[in-house]
Amino acid sequence: MDTPEQRIKIAVQKTGRLTDHSIDLLERCGLKLTQSKDQLFLYGENMPIDLLLVRDDDIPGLVSDDVCDLGIVGLNVVEEVRQKLLADGRKPRFKQVFELDFGHCRLAIAGPEDTDYRGVDSLKDTKIATSYVSILRNYLKEIGIEAEPVYFSGAVEIAPKLGKADFICDLVSTGTTLAANGLVELETLIDSEAVVIQTQEALTDEKQALVDRMLQRLDGVLQVRESKYIMLHAPRESLAEIRALLPGSEAPTVMPLDGTDDKVAVHAVCRENVFWETLENLKQAGASSLLVLPVEKMLA
């Protein structure tokens, strides 16, 4: 039986836009989880990996302080914590190891619809409400604009209505929140998505091996999301043209077809989505018996 010290702890957002995706992703890596009664802890049944469910803003700190070995969190939060630590003269002790391609959003400055906005100069001597004070401060410094970040821990979008700020700087994903509050997006500071961060403390060899194994599985899960297995028959003479039409495939398997010399079977993994247009173009190039299958698992 492994001791708690030998188990890997992964910090995951407790409730929010990344929660379901993060847990789903780890389960698709083969991890079976049981929920504890207090719901703050998910126990890994088949691997020595447990999840800690916490506020997203706390995740970089937990990984930096080595309470957790890994964390899944938005790049926006990682950047805010990193820039805050650096501003305080401290060193962030976590490193980003993986981009997860979900939870896409951007940190943007927005203002009331009726603002007469003429570029960043309009931000001069204004108040900007945000939970991302460090990123905003550095951005303003970079563009040479003096403005005052006003810290809000949540509900940033109501600050202009309350007369607490002229603009806001907050996450925008679909834009629904901005629209519902009569705000328009004006400047983008950073593009964000979910990432995996790892502590910079050296792990034991066993733990590091397990982390590497999980990261390799994650890579496989991410790759198959878009990947398709495609099978078709092709005239030998159009093989070059057909290969060029297969989206994101490296080396297809080409096999002779029984009873014919001028036709071959082609099997390929396409690492991009295969659209109807692609199939129509392949048919046009002479392909027949086209079959596209989803890929369930992949290990490079």
SS3 265: strand
Q: Least Å distance between CB 17 and Zn ion?
A: 9
CA distance 214 to 103: 20
| Burial state string for 46-59 with b = 16 or more CB within 10 A and e = fewer than 16 | ebebbbbbbebebb
Residue 13 or 198: the one with the smaller Cβ distance to ligand PRP is 13
Q: Least Å distance between CB 275 and ligand PRP?
A: 27
Binding segment (CB under 6 A) for ligand PRP, from list 160-168, 172-180, 192-200, 250-258: 172-180
Q: Least Å distance between CB 218 and ligand PRP?
A: 22
SS3 200: coil
Site string for Zn ion, 41-70 (x = CB under 5 A): ---------------xx-------------
DSSP state, residue 275: -
Cβ contacts of 34 within 8 Å, gap of 6 or more: 42, 43, 45
Q: By CB under 6 A, is residue 80 in contact with ligand PRP? A: no
Angstrom CA distances, 245 to 224, 254, 275, 288, 290, stand at 20, 15, 11, 14, 13
Residue 17 contact, options ligand PRP, Zn ion, none, Cβ 5-8 Å cut-off depending on partner type: ligand PRP
Could you say which of 3, 39, 46, 176 contacts ligand PRP (CB under 6 A)? 176
CA distance 16 to 276: 35
Output the six-digit token pair for 202: 């050296």
Could you say which of 36, 173, 260, 289 contacts ligand PRP (CB under 6 A)? 173
Could you say which of 7, 14, 17, 267 contacts ligand PRP (CB under 6 A)? 17
Binding segment (CB under 6 A) for ligand PRP, from list 19-27, 94-102, 167-175, 229-237: 167-175
Could you say which of 78, 136, 172, 268 contacts ligand PRP (CB under 6 A)? 172
CA distance 117 to 113: 9
Q: Least Å distance between CB 174 and ligand PRP?
A: 4
